Amino acid sequence: MNKKIILASASPRRRELLKTIGLEFTVIPSSVEEDIEHKPFSYKLIEDLALQKVLDVKDKISFPAVIIGSDTVVVIDNRVLGKPKDSNDAFNMLKLLSGRVHRVISAIAVHDNQTQKTVKTSVTSEVSFREIRDDEIRDYIKTAEPADKAGAYAIQGKAAIFVKGINGCYSNIVGISVYKTAEILAEFGVKVL
């Protein structure tokens, strides 16, 4: 019998990903504000943010649980791209990604509120975009997909036609590496398969 698992994230993508590997969990979103744009990228920055989400949810519950927190950023030229503020912002982000390779980094933090064991880490994947014409960017923005996505695109959606290839973990680009999550959960005595 596995311990109770809590996902400290409101992201429907992360929920879907963790469901595909058969993990049973409850979603309790954290109230932590994600304000890491315009800061130079560092792994510590996003891993700490993932852990903050976990600790925020830890304070909200009073039962034994293993809590998973995560945060995803798109990084290009050492700059963090968060969610676009408007269509103009989305256009500029996609223009910046066009024809180039960027990194997607998702941090994972896991904490057991009984043993106090904590693990935090992050996974990096590279994504290679083909050249995207301005009219394609505009058509893509019309699909509304970019609105709530870091870097203004969804690789699991229509933006797949821009992605020549990736190097690394795919689910990490969507929102959380299910490979790494399963590996960490094993350290907490949680069996996935």
Q: Which is nearer to a copy of itself, 59 or 131 (CB)?
A: 131
* Residue 158 dihedral angles phi and psi, to the nearest 5°: -70, -20
* 146: amino acid identity, one letter: P
Taking CB under 8 A as the rule, does residue 114 contact a copy of itself?
A: no
Query: How many residues belong to the site for a copy of itself (CB under 8 A)?
Result: 31
Neighbours of 107 (CB within 10 A): 25
Q: Which is nearer to a copy of itself, 9 or 172 (CB)?
A: 172
Residue 157 CB, shortest distance to a copy of itself, in Å, is: 6
The neighbouring-strand residues paired with 107 are 71, 122
Region from 58-66, 102-110, 111-119, 177-185 binding a copy of itself, contact rule CB under 8 A: 177-185
Question: Which of 129, 124, 122, 138 has its CA nearest to residue 170?
Answer: 124
Taking CB under 8 A as the rule, does residue 157 contact a copy of itself?
A: yes
CB–CB of 67/76 below 8 Å? Answer: no
Taking CB under 8 A as the rule, does residue 155 contact a copy of itself?
A: yes
**59 an active-site residue?**
no
Taking CB under 8 A as the rule, does residue 29 contact a copy of itself?
A: no
Q: Which two tokens stand for residue 193?
A: 């398969």
Taking CB under 8 A as the rule, does residue 20 contact a copy of itself?
A: yes
From first CA to last CA, the distance across the chain in angstroms is: 12
Q: Which two tokens stand for residue 52?
A: 């903050």
Residues that bind a copy of itself (CB under 8 A): 20-22, 125, 130, 136, 139-140, 143, 155-158, 160-171, 178-179, 182-183, 192-193
